[in-house]
Structure 1
Amino acid sequence: MNVNRYLPLCLTLMLSGAPGLAFAETLVVNSYGGPYEAIIEERIIKPFEEKSGIDVVYDAVGSASQDYAKIKATRGQPGFDVVVMTASQSLQGCKDGLLEKLDVTAVPNLGKLVPSLAAVAGPCGAVHEVQYMSLLYRTDKLASPPTSWSSLLDPELKGRIILPTFQNIMAVFLMEIMSVTRGGDMIDNVDPGFSAMAELARQSIGFEQSSAILESYIKDGTVWAMPFWNGRAQLLVDQGVPVDYVRPKEGTVPLIATLNVPVGATNKQAATAFIDFFLEKSSQEAWVTGYKVGSARTDIDIPDDIRKRQITTQADLESLKLPDLSRIADKLGEWGERWERDVVSQAN
């Protein structure tokens, strides 16, 4: 790994031989650490540097919500040029005027994305990855794989599940999908969802916000089943943990990840070049096979064993319940109070 990436960001300024760029300062990309960092370095950043001549500083600091808080606090000048967030922050940043709008003129590969997924992220977000809320379970504890979200309420799982806190968007999505399974909907009639979550709270051992902490419970066998993003679930499978995951028969809600450019970014031309590179067919194939996630491009060629687990085809899209993130944002205050009153209060 190039240690220069982690020198103070102000130290590096270089000429670029990239077509269409007379010069470019070092491009600063903010995203996640851990397995994500190693994979993006290998599959995306190094190939981009080789193709463009642009040096990339990788800034593995902060969660999506923390990154957006920094963008907001600095009025769009957070010190990085590209940031990986989710569609929720992308929409809010566009509304607040703190993220650049992206179009096919600057980012031609935006035109290759499935319109329905691109629309969820809004005009400021480039969808580079799609995960979904899966049902993760211990293969050595359950006799047969669960097939429904209602399986979380099975008597054998009493005291063997854990739930995300309301601060984790997965909690909102789980409430919405439970509402749908019981005859409600995802926004206007969520009474069935809150009722189901109250039952799940009585079934659970408690709540945790961090995905890393949530997964620790199932890794050590304390928990036998829980909702979890499928990309991270696949990492556990690949590590040899006795777990597997399913997309329940009722469908599920996607977690749509985006690439965004703050309005005060120093190197916007290099930023859009990086985003377009990430969305290229070959780059999406490399990312999907490396990080084991889905794509908003349906024309990618990937191995069948990966394709059957990820969102990559039109048929896969039909299993998704696309969230109305703008309306969810308007409901969060009301739902948060109700979550504390009706759900958390029921936990053992």
Structure 2
Amino acid sequence: MPTRRRLLQTGLATIAMPSVLRAQSLSGQITLMSYSGIFQDNYTKAVVEPFLAANPGVKVNYAPGGTSAQMVGSVRAQKADPQIDVVIMDVTTSSIGNIEGLFEKLTPAEFPVLEELAPEARAAGGEFGPAVTFDHLVLVYDTQNLKPPITKLADLWRPDLKGQLALSAPPNIQGLALTAMVEKMEGGDHRKSIDAAMRKLKELAPSVNTFEPNPDGYSLILNGVVKVATGWNARSQLYGDQSNGRIGTLLPPEGSVFQINTINLTAGSKNRAAAAAFVKHALSQSAQKAFTERMFYAPTNARAQIDPKAVARTAAAPESRANMIPVDWNDILKVRDQWNNRWRREVISAAR
């Protein structure tokens, strides 16, 4: 007669078996497209490699996709014969892909992890791919060569910074976020008008060294080209550590804007099972914890238990949330071309 212990062991083995079988049944390869450089390096270590360890039959090819606009262009070009399975990109661009039918809708029935996400993470992608990271716009500056340091957004207009600024102009999302921030600084509301922002940014234009930082504002500071740039908090935190504090990060007291990256399952994926499994993993508590603690993107899984010291350096920190300007990126998408044209006509042209 079986012992109680043996019955218990058999029962536990039976319960565990489906997950083991699912991992063993996944095979083949998938292509993940997202940002290159420092993001690729850290996302591979924190998220991709643990997925591969749990699914030894699957190979993940990481395809550096350039900007979000370039990524959606790649997916669009392959619509009839998709070569990319999962894409992580900015929400303003993934929304375009959703409209064009490039990405799949995700249901809680197939993706139970959706129920663990923060409400704003679910809302970001609607019925499609949800937010996988949160971040916010910051000003980054050269702590060694900028005296006194900047302490607020309005400091960009300091006379001593003429020629020392790198701003990412629209359609780059940094420029869109900066527009909303400057409008608020001037007492306006970007949902009603950006006239005040355009006037103020036109005044700033002669001080701007470049409106297209290449490869990015952090590198231009480290190379001594400029002293202040627009940037993202997560990257600036990491660059600050790597540069022994040379890169400083300022969350402007006038307010900042959340940036959202969504994770998207390509419609017509040739290895949908493995691609769906990766999406579930990327949104899981363990993956969210690992990436937040490694690169300081705020988690979108509300149940992830993050080291408080890491949270304090992310967009999820209470002081960061308190300074966020409400921005509906789906609304911004509708006026993006208009804002882009106004920047070209009224701001960038004033720098010449």
The two structures have a TM-score, normalised by structure 1, of: 0.87
How big is the shift at 1:54?
3.9
Out of 285, 299, 320, the position equivalent to 1:295 is 299
Out of 129, 133, 141, the position equivalent to 1:129 is 133
Classify 1:315/1:18 alpha carbon distance in 2 versus 1 (closer, same or farther; 3 Å).
farther
1:7 equivalent in structure 2: none
Measured on the aligned residues, the alpha-carbon RMSD in Å equals 2.3
Contact map agreement 1:296 1:312 (CA 8 A) in 2: no
Classify 1:140/1:337 alpha carbon distance in 2 versus 1 (closer, same or farther; 3 Å).
same
1:217 equivalent in structure 2: 220
1:8 equivalent in structure 2: none
Mapping for residues 98-137 of structure 1, pairs under 5 Å: 98-137=102-141
Out of 262, 268, 273, the position equivalent to 2:266 is 262
Q: Distance in 2 between matches of 1:20 and 1:306?
A: 31
Contact map agreement 1:94 1:123 (CA 8 A) in 2: no
Q: Distance in 2 between matches of 1:171 and 1:126?
A: 23
Deviation by residue 1:286-334 (Cα, 9 ceiling, x = unmatched): 1011122211234433333322120235664343224322222221222
3-state DSSP class of the match of 2:89?
strand
- The amino acid that maps onto 1:61 is P
How big is the shift at 1:125?
1.8
Contact map agreement 1:91 1:122 (CA 8 A) in 2: no
Classify 1:196/1:319 alpha carbon distance in 2 versus 1 (closer, same or farther; 3 Å).
same
Is 1:60 aligned to 2:87, yes or no? no
Query: Of the two, which has the highest radius of gyration?
Result: 2
Classify 1:314/1:136 alpha carbon distance in 2 versus 1 (closer, same or farther; 3 Å).
closer
- The amino acid that maps onto 1:32 is Y
Classify 1:183/1:21 alpha carbon distance in 2 versus 1 (closer, same or farther; 3 Å).
farther
1:183 equivalent in structure 2: 187
3-state DSSP class of the match of 1:137?
strand
2:8 equivalent in structure 1: none
- The amino acid that maps onto 1:111 is E
Contact map agreement 1:162 1:207 (CA 8 A) in 2: yes
Classify 1:174/1:67 alpha carbon distance in 2 versus 1 (closer, same or farther; 3 Å).
same
Mapping for residues 1-348 of structure 1, pairs under 5 Å: 18-19=21-22, 22-63=25-66, 64-75=68-79, 77-210=81-214, 212-240=215-243, 242-312=246-316, 316-348=320-352
- The amino acid that maps onto 2:127 is P
How big is the shift at 1:82?
0.9
Classify 1:32/1:335 alpha carbon distance in 2 versus 1 (closer, same or farther; 3 Å).
closer
Contact map agreement 2:140 2:218 (CA 8 A) in 1: no
How big is the shift at 1:146?
2.7
Q: Distance in 2 between matches of 1:76 and 1:181?
A: 46
Q: Distance in 2 between matches of 1:76 and 1:291?
A: 35
Q: Count residues in correspondence.
A: 332
Q: Which segments of 5 or more consecutive residues in structure 1 lack a partner in the other structure?
A: 1-15
3-state DSSP class of the match of 2:22?
coil
2:3 equivalent in structure 1: none
Q: Distance in 2 between matches of 1:89 and 1:57?
A: 23
Classify 1:26/1:222 alpha carbon distance in 2 versus 1 (closer, same or farther; 3 Å).
closer
3-state DSSP class of the match of 2:211?
strand
Contact map agreement 2:169 2:343 (CA 8 A) in 1: no
3-state DSSP class of the match of 1:66?
helix
| Greater displacement, 296-305 / 90-99 | 296-305
Identity across aligned pairs (percent)? 28
Classify 1:270/1:174 alpha carbon distance in 2 versus 1 (closer, same or farther; 3 Å).
same
Q: Distance in 2 between matches of 1:266 and 1:322?
A: 38
3-state DSSP class of the match of 1:327?
helix
| Greater displacement, 163-172 / 296-305 | 296-305
Classify 1:53/1:324 alpha carbon distance in 2 versus 1 (closer, same or farther; 3 Å).
same
The two structures have a TM-score, normalised by structure 2, of: 0.86
3-state DSSP class of the match of 1:218?
helix
Q: Distance in 2 between matches of 1:59 and 1:52?
A: 16
Q: Distance in 2 between matches of 1:156 and 1:304?
A: 38
Classify 1:124/1:209 alpha carbon distance in 2 versus 1 (closer, same or farther; 3 Å).
farther
How big is the shift at 1:171?
0.9
Q: Distance in 2 between matches of 1:147 and 1:103?
A: 44
Q: Distance in 2 between matches of 1:118 and 1:318?
A: 21
How big is the shift at 1:18?
4.6
